[in-house]
Amino acid sequence: MKITVASGKGGTGKTTVAVGMALALQADGNRVTFLDCDVEEPNGHIFIKPDIQKNEDVFIDVPEINLEKCDFCGKCSEICAFNALLVAGESVVVFHELCHGCGGCNYFCPKGAVTLIPKKIGTIEMGTAAEGLNFAHGQLEIGVPLSPPLVDAVKKKQNGGITIIDAPPGTSCPAVHTVRETDFCLLVTEPTPFGLNDLALAVEMTRALDVPCGILVNRAREGWDIIDKYCKQNNLKILMKIPLSREIAGAYSKGIPLTFLDKEWGVAFRRLFRDIREMVESERNNRHQW
């Protein structure tokens, strides 16, 4: 079971929820892996406090031009969707910062003048945390604008059992790469106009990726029902609400997970997982019948 915890915007409480669910399920005797795919600003480790045991560098292949072989036909520049190559007269300029590592320039070069060389884009740190929880997160190199390949590499560190993935905020490429090919996406939102606007975008993302989703409302407050109305109109299920609480905010500021704050949160997160599992099984049965 692979569950992504995502949101349409930052600051909704994704990490609070992802960490709480992972720790609650691990404490209940499950085999759990926590993956932090917010590679530009990972923070799950602040709460999980893993013992890092292994580092792994991640590379993409970028082009290097052999000017002795090149006839400056411009084919490499023509096929590059990201304008990472510029053929000007009898020279070729390579913008490594724009390269997405697809290798098309190497494949289509008629003279074999393009060689692919590895470029480091980030590092994956792996280890274990409380009660044997498996942990991995990615850290993007400073100045590198390309995070999806690192996100994909982090996702490969799944270790069977239950995988809880903390996604990057928003609905751009890093979030899409995180959510796709997972079993369920839990969308964390807040009952504000900004929260609703970005939740609607995130819901459309999950539908485009054909990944079932449910909603968790963080900082819920009596009378703030803007998310409830939206979910009712769009046939979405609210699986859990976390109240607006000074105590919870204080624990968060000290790096204390909800499950350590009160054992009842462990019960709540395990109930949340059971509800998610039932939704996933129901979705699979419906697709099988169809």
Q: Report the DSSP beta bridge partners of residue 3.
A: 164, 184
* In the chain, alpha helices (H): 14-27, 44-48, 75-79, 104-108, 148-155, 173-179, 193-209, 226-233, 246-253, 258-261, 263-289
Q: In this structure, are 146 and 113 located in the same domain? A: no
Beta strands in 13-113 (DSSP E): 32-36, 51-65, 85-88, 91-94
d(CA 35, CA 27): 17
Q: In this structure, are 187 and 102 located in the same domain? A: no
Map tokens 């997405």 to a residue.
100
**Residue 241: CB partners within 8 Å, gap ≥ 6?**
216, 217, 218, 220
Q: In this structure, are 224 and 245 located in the same domain? A: yes
Q: In this structure, are 46 and 90 located in the same domain? A: no
Give how far Cα 147 sits from Cα of 6, 140, 152, 181, Å.
Answer: 16, 7, 9, 18
d(CA 85, CA 96): 9
Q: In this structure, are 284 and 235 located in the same domain? A: yes
User: Could you list the pLDDT tens digit for every one of the 290 residues in the chain?
Assistant: 999 999 988 889 999 999 999 999 999 999 999 999 999 999 999 999 999 999 999 999 999 999 999 999 999 999 999 999 999 999 999 999 999 999 999 999 999 999 999 999 999 999 999 789 999 999 999 989 899 999 999 999 998 899 999 999 999 999 999 999 999 999 999 999 999 999 999 999 999 999 999 999 999 999 999 999 999 999 999 999 999 999 999 999 999 999 999 999 999 999 999 999 999 998 888 776 65
Instruction: CATH number of the domain at 100, please.
Output: 3.30.70.20
Q: In this structure, are 227 and 87 located in the same domain? A: no
Domain boundary pick from 120, 145, 164: 120
Q: Which domain holds residue 179?
A: 2-50+129-289
Q: In this structure, are 82 and 104 located in the same domain? A: yes
Q: In this structure, are 161 and 284 located in the same domain? A: yes
Instruction: CATH number of the domain at 271, please.
Output: 3.40.50.300
Question: Helix, strand, coil % (nearest 5) of the chain?
Answer: 40, 30, 35
Domain boundary pick from 99, 120, 141: 120
Query: Based on the number of CB atoms within 10 Å of its own CB, is 240 exposed (0-12), middle (13-18) or buried (19 or more)?
Result: buried
Q: In this structure, are 203 and 239 located in the same domain? A: yes
Q: In this structure, are 204 and 222 located in the same domain? A: yes
What's the token pair of residue 99? 């390269």
Q: In this structure, are 11 and 149 located in the same domain? A: yes
Model pLDDT, residue 9: 87
The number of C-alpha atoms within 13 Å of 172 and in the hemisphere containing its C-beta is 11
Contact 16, 251 (CB under 8 A): no
Domain boundary pick from 72, 95, 120: 120
Q: In this structure, are 97 and 151 located in the same domain? A: no
In total, how many domains does the chain have? 2
What's the token pair of residue 152? 């994909």
Q: Are strands 184-189 and 213-220 parallel, antiparallel or unpaired?
A: parallel
Q: What 8-state DSSP symbol labels residue 30? A: -
